[in-house]
C-alpha cells in the first residue's frame, strides 16, 4: 500500500482505503484484531473508507501501527476472497463428511436424485409428444 494513504497525526494515524478493494466486512475484521492495542474509529467519504487508529499506550509508533493494520487488512481481504472462491468446494466437502457419518443420508439423496431425473425425463417426453401432435 502506498504510504500516501497513511497520514500520521500527533495523536493518531489515519488510513484511507478504497472501499471497492477493502469491504466494510474486511475493515471490521482487521479492526477487531486491533481492539486490544488501539482505539479504532471509522468514517466514510465517497468511495473511501477512513480508519483512525488511536494508540492505547502513549508513545506508540503510529506509522508502525498503521502499517501493521494494513497487513491485517490484506490478510482478511485474502481470507474473504478465498472463502468466496472456495464456497462450492467447502459445501461439497461438508456434504461428503456428513454423508459418510450417516450412510442412510446417501441413499436418501440418491433416491431423490433418481426421482428428479425421472421427472425431468417425463417432462421432456411430454414436450416432445405435444410438439409432434401439433406438427400433425
Partner 1 sequence: MSPLQKSPRNSFILRLHKNLYDQKILERMLKEDKEWIKPLKPSDKNYHLLECKTTSLSDVLEWANYLFYLNKTS
With CB under 8 A as the rule, give the number of residues binding partner 1.
18
- Cα-to-chain-centroid distance, residue 30: 13
Supply the minimum distance, in Å, between the C-beta of residue 78 and partner 1: 19
* Contact call for residue 37 and partner 1 (CB under 8 A): no
Q: How far is CA 121 from CA 38, 99, 108, 109, 117, in A?
A: 63, 27, 20, 18, 6
3 state SS for 87-103? HHHHHHHHHHHHHHHCH
Q: How far is the CB of 87 from partner 1 (least distance, A)?
A: 22
Query: Applying CB under 8 A, does 68 fall inside the site for partner 1?
Result: no
* Contact set with partner 1 (CB under 8 A): 9, 12, 14, 24, 28-29, 31-32, 35, 39-44, 49, 52, 54
Amino acid at each position: 500500500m502506498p504510504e500516501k494513504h497513511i497520514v500520521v497525526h500527533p495523536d493518531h494515524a489515519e488510513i484511507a482505503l478504497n472501499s471497492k478493494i477493502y469491504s466494510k466486512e474486511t475493515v471490521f475484521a482487521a479492526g477487531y484484531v486491533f481492539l486490544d492495542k488501539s482505539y479504532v474509529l471509522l468514517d466514510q467519504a465517497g468511495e473511501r473508507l477512513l480508519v483512525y487508529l488511536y494508540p492505547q499506550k502513549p508513545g506508540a509508533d503510529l506509522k508502525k501501527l498503521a502499517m501493521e493494520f494494513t497487513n491485517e487488512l490484506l490478510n482478511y481481504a485474502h481470507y474473504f476472497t478465498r472463502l468466496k472462491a472456495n464456497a462450492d468446494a467447502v459445501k461439497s466437502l461438508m456434504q461428503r463428511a456428513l454423508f459418510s457419518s450417516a450412510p442412510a443420508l446417501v441413499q436418501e439423496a440418491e433416491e431423490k436424485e433418481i426421482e428428479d431425473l425421472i421427472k425431468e425425463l417425463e417432462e421432456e417426453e411430454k414436450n416432445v409428444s405435444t410438439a409432434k401432435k401439433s406438427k400433425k
